[in-house]
Structures are given as structure tokens and as C-alpha cells.
Amino acid sequence: MAPLPGGSPSVPKVQGRPRHVPQRTCVACRQTDAKRQLVRVVRTSDGHALIDPTGKHPGRGAYVCSSSECWHSALRKNLLQRALKVEALPEEDLRTLNQYAERLSSSAESTSAHQS
């Protein structure tokens, strides 16, 4: 085979092994799934907890499924607090997380109503 002008031989590229997909575990149901399929909650350095849709915020993270049952279980049983290694979450953060769980359950109900 004659080398191309760039100096590399004209060999077709062979597909490598499949791309690695990071796996994470839901703190409520303990099911593992792709990192991007779960919702990350992060504890910031000042002790607040917030939802991290990008997965890039610095701090200790915990992952929860996108199902409202997992969210309600994680909040009711203090599983997020344990995973984030905090004694208690601030009230405003709990309110935000509960509102997020409620939005999930209302969107799940509206989706099931459309399918009927």
C-alpha cells in the first residue's frame, strides 16, 4: 500500500471497542443504570443540596431514578441525607427536592392519561 500524502498508509480505520458508559446506582431502589439516565443531587461545600442536571457541579453527589416512587422513597426514608453524608438537609432544599418529585409524579400521571 502506498502512503497517502500525510504520511499514513491508506488503511481503513477499524472500529474499536464500544464506548464505556459510566454506571450509577439509585439510592432508593438500588438499581444500576447509565449515569445520564439518573438524576444527580449534589451537596455543595456550604451544605446545600441541589439538583445537578449537568452532572458537573463540584461536591458529593447521589443519584436517584427519574421515577416519582424513588424520589418519594429517598426523601421519606432520608436516603439522600445518608448518601450525601449530612445530618439534615436545609428546609428550602427539601422543599425544592419535594417539588421536583411532585413534578415527576404529575408528569407521569399526565403521560399515562394520554396513553389511555
Give 35's pLDDT tier (boundaries 50, 70, 90): very high
Judged against a pLDDT cut of 70, whether residue 113 lies above it is answered with no
Chain segment 56-81, per-residue pLDDT in tens = 999 999 999 999 999 999 999 999 99
Residue 34 cell numbers, joined: 447509565
pLDDT of residue 7: 56
Nearest-CA neighbor of 30 among 72, 64, 80? 64
Asked if residue 66 lies in contact with residue 76, where contact means CB atoms within 8 angstroms, the answer is no
User: To 10 degrees, the CA torsion angle through 111, 102, 79, 65?
Assistant: 20
Residue 36 cell numbers, joined: 445520564
Chain segment 43-62, per-residue pLDDT in tens = 999 999 999 999 999 999 99
Domain that holds residue 45: 23-111
C-alpha 52/C-alpha 91 separation (Å) is 18
Single pTM value for the model: 0.79
CATH of the domain at 45: 3.30.1230.10
Domain count, the chain: 1
